[in-house]
């Protein structure tokens, strides 16, 4: 039998009222009508997700950061970083160390590995720069401790949200993230490419339909040339330049397109080494060299073609590519033809800028822009065809170098984006990571395409800080199965059970734990917890402390030493009590033959209630361990006297033991052995305990009752406990 209930109407959810908001809010703190500093916020119900946290390559210092002050960072539940490019991840150390961010943060394994190498170089460079540093190496190291890793297709739950990464195909480890909150599914693509290349597979198509897709719009309505055509165009331009004695500069991002192009050139040089073998190919980035080890480590993330090559040789051990360690000396000393890849891709700084300024006045040379040129960078400026440029020293120099734009950028073009959206069919599309004009052209084309195909589709093009509000009715229903479904529920009533979500089945089921095997593949299990604590006081002291703190402390009956961990086969006495029906406390005396010290073993069934009681019992035991040694000495004397049959000495020792135990609970105690009594002073009130007569003389009724109860418990605590010794 099953019943479907509306949570908001018939089932009270413990822990607070449900949020009745039915709008998802998407806010670009970066990458809103711009390319750079990607940082997108999704808010729905009481959950907040941050997608990416990068810097803008055209800006410096604090100006390069996302607009993090626009929201309360402390409310962000989780940050999801799609890949290691600086415009998507380089503000992470700042976020984690210099803001009020308190959430969790996730990356894939390759992203985290390369993130550290890239940002470590960035932090080292900041030491020797006059520019404002966003973070240092200590901040980066601390961020690594906070970052958690996630595998492709692994669904994780964070604060009630389900998060699943899919392959994005952009660079090694790049992920698209599907986030589900209260039935709302939002897919954030980050940078993605649906076309496989020489080393990476294309982006995945998620198996479920998202309600919202937040998608990059870098290339707007532009279309990439087919891969073979692009590669041939690149080779033709390189050969033309080399034949006229010129040099080729390819400003490139250190990871991603660099490896793709190095694979292409190395393969071409190998096939034409009789003609080109004497012309060097250089890569002028230490990061490119470091990346090769990462690519070898995560070979399973590469495509099938490159995996097959790995069977014969490591394709990333290039045969015709050399690492250039000192660009300044090379510029000064070398004048022959060559091909050089250098970072950064925007020519705004670094080795690529040094080469460009040194070679830009020579018409024999060529600069090939292979990646997307961000607005505000020199790479974008020279694509406009200026006759001169301004150097970093402020000189105006003529621009005679040939400039070509042959895009190998692993960003989706119009055909990829429109095809992807037509396949997953989201009713809402939010465009980010694109320049203002291109985003609006793409939005119009996507709307027209959806209309022609009869698809319901709204397309949004937010600028920085502009909130997109999308209405979505949250899924608040749950199916009550089995014995819970048979219950008659009253409005406002409470039902308790295990909430289960099954892939491919009904969204949510609430089950009695005993019904799990019937309706799911889950089994009810039991976890037994044990904790051992060494002690140097008699068990009577510990038992008294437990009885003072807890009601229902009872002897557990006879306990076989063979059933107690740590005592089997030793023939030692084992005393045991139960605290309620939750925690068993066993006392195992010292064993001089083995050197084992006296200790207590707590055992309980793991769970919220059991763990809470066990924590309290452990605290009481630890406090009892610190009690005066007088109790231990008195108990030993009492036991020796009883063993010798000396009842007089045993009675005197028992009186001393009772006094020590009362002293530990109530304060100063004086023993009158002749009179068989104990005098106490409790907060200035005098109390006389006539132990032989079993009377307590005290002017305060309440205090007298407390001490009488303590004496009853003490009599039980020091009474001998029956022991089962091992048989045979």
> 109-127 vs 137-146: helix axis angle to the nearest 10?
160
3 state DSSP class of 459: strand
Closest CA to 370 of 520, 256, 272: 256
Q: Count other Cβ atoms within 10 Å, centred on residue 677.
A: 19
State how far the Cα of 438 lies from the Cα of 421, in Å rounded to an integer: 17
199 flagged as catalytic: no
Closest CA to 303 of 380, 200, 167: 200
Burial-class residue 672 by CB neighbours within 10 Å (0-12, 13-18, 19+): middle
Q: Which one of the listed residues 411, 428, 433, 512 is annotated catalytic?
A: 411
State how far the Cα of 119 lies from the Cα of 287, in Å rounded to an integer: 10
Q: What stretches of 425-528 show up as alpha helix (H) in DSSP?
A: 436-453, 482-485, 516-519
Which pair of tokens denotes residue 689? Answer: 């305990």
State how far the Cα of 259 lies from the Cα of 291, in Å rounded to an integer: 9
Residues 6+ apart with CB under 8 A from 542: 535, 585, 587, 600, 620, 621, 624, 625
Three-state DSSP string of 105-169:
EEECHHHHHHHHHHHHHHHHHHHCCCCCCCCCHHHHHHHHHHEEECCCCCCEEECCEEEEEEECC
Strands across the sheet containing 428-432: 156-158, 161-167, 175-181, 184-188, 212-216, 428-432, 458-460
How does DSSP assign 539-571, residue by residue?
Answer: HHHHHHHHHHH-S-EEE----BGGGSTTTTTS-
Q: Count other Cβ atoms within 10 Å, centred on residue 703.
A: 17
Which residues make beta-bridge pairs with 555? 577
State how far the Cα of 541 lies from the Cα of 667, in Å rounded to an integer: 15
In degrees, rounded to 5, the angle at the alpha carbon of residue 321 between the alpha carbons of residues 317 and 327 is: 125
**Which residues are part of the catalytic machinery?**
411
């Amino acid at each position: 039998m099953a019943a479907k209930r509306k949570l908001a109407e018939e089932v009270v959810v413990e822990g607070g009222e449900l949020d009745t908001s039915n709008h998802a809010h998407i806010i670009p703190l970066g990458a809103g009508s711009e390319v750079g500093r990607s940082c997108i916020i999704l808010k729905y119900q009481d959950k907040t997700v941050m997608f990416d946290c990068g810097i803008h390559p055209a800006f410096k210092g604090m100006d390069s950061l996302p607009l993090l002050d626009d929201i309360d960072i402390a409310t962000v539940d989780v940050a999801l970083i799609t890949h290691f490019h600086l415009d998507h991840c380089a503000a992470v150390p700042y976020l984690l160390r210099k803001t009020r961010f308190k959430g969790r943060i996730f990356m894939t394994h390759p992203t985290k590995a390369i993130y550290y190498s890239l940002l470590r170089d960035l932090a080292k460079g900041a030491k020797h720069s006059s520019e404002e540093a966003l973070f240092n190496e200590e901040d980066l190291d601390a961020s690594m401790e906070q970052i958690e890793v996630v595998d492709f297709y692994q669904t994780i739950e964070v604060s009630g949200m389900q998060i699943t990464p899919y392959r994005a195909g952009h660079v090694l480890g790049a992920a698209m993230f599907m986030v589900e909150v209260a039935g709302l599914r939002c897919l954030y693509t980050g940078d993605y490419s649906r076309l496989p290349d020489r080393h990476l597979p294309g982006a995945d198509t998620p198996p479920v339909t998202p309600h919202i897709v937040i998608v990059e719009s870098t290339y707007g309505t532009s279309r990439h040339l087919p891969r073979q055509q692009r590669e041939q165009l690149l080779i033709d331009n390189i050969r033309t330049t080399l034949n006229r004695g010129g040099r080729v500069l390819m400003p490139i991002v250190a990871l991603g397109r660099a490896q793709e192009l190095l694979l292409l050139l190395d393969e071409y040089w190998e096939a034409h080494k009789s003609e080109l073998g004497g012309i060097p190919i250089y890569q002028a980035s230490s990061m490119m060299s470091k990346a090769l080890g990462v690519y070898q480590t995560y070979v399973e993330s590469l495509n099938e073609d490159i995996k097959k090559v790995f069977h014969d040789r490591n394709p990333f051990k290039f045969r015709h590519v050399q690492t250039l360690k000192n660009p300044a000396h090379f510029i000064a000393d070398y004048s022959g033809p060559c091909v050089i890849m250098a970072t950064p891709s925007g020519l705004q700084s670094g080795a690529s800028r040094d080469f460009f300024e040194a070679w830009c006045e020579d018409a024999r040379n060529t600069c090939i822009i292979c990646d997307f040129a961000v607005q505000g960078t020199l790479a974008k400026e020279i694509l406009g065809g200026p006759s001169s440029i301004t150097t970093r020293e402020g000189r105006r120099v003529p621009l005679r170098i040939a400039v070509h734009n042959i895009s190998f950028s692993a960003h989706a073009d119009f055909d990829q984006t429109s095809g992807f959206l037509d396949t997953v069919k989201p009713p809402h599309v939010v465009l980010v990571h694109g320049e203002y004009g291109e985003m609006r052209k793409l939005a119009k084309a996507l709307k027209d395409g959806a209309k022609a195909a009869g698809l319901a589709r709204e397309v949004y093009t937010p600028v920085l800080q502009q909130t997109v509000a999308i209405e979505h009715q949250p899924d608040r229903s749950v199916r009550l199965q089995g014995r819970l479904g048979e219950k008659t529920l009253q409005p406002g009533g409470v039902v308790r059970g295990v909430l289960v979500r099954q892939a491919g089945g009904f969204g949510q089921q609430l089950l009695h734990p005993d019904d799990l095997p019937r309706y799911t593949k889950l089994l009810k299990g039991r976890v037994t917890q044990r904790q051992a604590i060494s002690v140097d006081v008699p068990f009577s002291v510990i038992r008294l402390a437990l009885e003072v703190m807890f009601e229902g402390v009872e002897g557990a009956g006879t306990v076989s030493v063979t059933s107690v961990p740590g005592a089997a086969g030793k023939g030692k006495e084992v005393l045991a009590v139960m605290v309620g029906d939750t925690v068993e406390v066993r006392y195992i005396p010292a064993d001089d033959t083995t050197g084992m010290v006296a200790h207590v073993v707590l055992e309980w069934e793991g769970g919220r209630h059991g763990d809470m009681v066990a924590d309290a019992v452990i605290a009481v035991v630890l406090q009892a361990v610190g009690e005066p040694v007088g109790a231990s000495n008195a108990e030993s004397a009492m036991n020796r006297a009883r063993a010798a049959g000396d009842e007089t000495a045993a009675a005197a020792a028992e009186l001393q033991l009772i006094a020590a135990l009362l002293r530990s609970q109530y304060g100063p105690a004086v023993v009158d052995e002749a009179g068989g009594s104990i005098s106490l002073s409790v907060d200035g009130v005098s109390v006389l305990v006539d132990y032989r007569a079993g009377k307590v003389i005290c002017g305060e009724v309440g205090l007298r009752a407390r001490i009488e109860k303590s004496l009853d418990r003490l009599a039980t605590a020091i009474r001998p406990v029956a022991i089962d010794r091992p048989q045979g």
